[in-house]
Amino acid sequence: AQKITQTQPGMFVQEKEAVTLDCTYDTSDQSYGLFWYKQPSSGEMIFLIYQGSYDEQNATEGRYSLNFQKARKSANLVISASQLGDSAMYFCAMREVSGNTPLVFGKGTRLSVIA
Amino acid sequence: DSGVTQTPKHLITATGQRVTLRCSPRSGDLSVYWYQQSLDQGLQFLIQYYNGEERAKGNILERFSAQQFPDLHSELNLSSLELGDSALYFCASSETDSTNSPLHFGNGTRLTVT
């Protein structure tokens, strides 16, 4: 069963606008971590933001924030004030505590920022 | 720059051959992970080492093997290569093995099998 679902293969956003990238996950663990990574066309994977399952506040890192809704098992990434350099693939990932499971990735969303 | 170094950046080889990919983790990171990224399979976890010992194993083929050395660098060996092994291979490292320790990825090695 797929643990991470990113339903938007591609998204477009106007420069300076905000955009939300969707991520839902599936786990029976109570303790887990959620991550977002950015992969530009150059290929590297860049860590953006982390949210722990017990964190009460939504995580924020600069222009990135994570809209965490535990009951709905969703962890959407919000990028505010989009820039042309934000054009990239974005991956949602989860790591469960039990069973020493690795970081599992979704299939990604390709974001294109338009001038 | 993540601080994780992978060599080589590109590798082109023929079917049936064997290659070794090398990874130096960030200074102070004890855990090393290998991932394979292909268009059809996405990012697939292969194997994890923690302080020299194998910690977790994913969808790693028997033709593939890895190890982490005392200086914490790691190598991924791919043998009897097939066309389908063409992919981007990432190494990542993390400070600890805990759930909240983010993985920091190298720039990857792009393997092309012809």
DSSP output for A62-94? TTEEEEEETTTTEEEEEE-S--GGG-EEEEEEE
Cis status, amide bond into B70, omega within 30 of 0: no
pLDDT at residue A65 in the model? 98
List C-alpha distances in Å: A84 to A17, A21, A79, A80, B97: 11, 16, 12, 12, 35
Q: What tens digit of pLDDT does each residue of B20-59 get?
A: 999 999 999 999 999 999 988 889 999 999 999 999 999 8
Interchain proximity B99–A105, CB inside 8 Å: no
pLDDT at residue A94 in the model? 95
Is residue A59 within 8 A of residue A50, CB to CB? The reply is: yes
pLDDT at residue A87 in the model? 98
Interchain proximity A91–B43, CB inside 8 Å: yes
- From the list B99, B104, B105, the residue facing A32 with the nearest CB is B99
Compute the distance between CA of residue A74 and CA of residue A53 in angstroms, rounded to an integer: 11
Window 88-107 of B: residues touching A by CB (8 A cutoff) are 88, 90, 92, 97, 99-100, 102-107
pLDDT exceeds cutoff 90 at A104: yes
pLDDT band at A2 (very low <50, low <70, confident <90, very high): low
Average pLDDT over residues A62-86: 97
Average pLDDT over residues A110-114: 98
- From the list A44, A101, A103, the residue facing B107 with the nearest CB is A44
Q: How far is CA B20 from the centre of its chain?
A: 10
pLDDT at residue B100 in the model? 85
pLDDT at residue A99 in the model? 64
pLDDT exceeds cutoff 60 at A1: no
